[in-house]
Amino acid sequence: MEQIITPSLRLNALIKHVDKEKVIKLYQKCNIVKLQLFGSILTENFSEDSDIDILVTFHPNHIPGYFTIFRIEEKLSILFERTVDLRTKNEINEYFRDEVLKRAVLIYE
């Protein structure tokens, strides 16, 4: 019997193997308040070649620059063993923003 891999099973498998202590240290060091998954990882379209779309919320008193965000993306890519596309709420197209926020899955707060 073939096992059906649903988005939630795929998500659980992906998060399960991540070194949580390293991720928490990164969150604290970079003033991250919240991380949420969105995009193809939450759908049947997610494949071995797909990146991971992550919505990030930083502490209000800490607005990082482009290079800091790029370094965070690199570190998360290493931890998740997959390319990470890190976005803030304001970077998401306003026409899709409400839908993205409604469907996003919280992974850290």
User: What are the boundaries of each domain within the chain?
Assistant: 7-108
Q: Are 104 and 37 in contact (CB under 8 A)?
A: yes
Q: Average pLDDT, stretch 67-83?
A: 92
pLDDT band at residue 71, thresholds of 50, 70 and 90? very high
Interatomic CA distance for residues 62 and 29, integer angstroms: 11
pLDDT band at residue 8, thresholds of 50, 70 and 90? low
**Residue 38 gets which letter from DSSP?**
E
Q: What is the pLDDT of residue 3?
A: 44
Q: What is the pLDDT of residue 57?
A: 94
Q: What is the pLDDT of residue 4?
A: 43
- Runs of H (alpha helix) within the chain: 7-16, 20-29, 66-80, 97-103
- CA gyration radius for the chain? 14
pLDDT band at residue 103, thresholds of 50, 70 and 90? very high
Secondary-structure class of domain 7-108 per CATH: alpha beta
Q: Is the pTM of this model over 0.95?
A: no
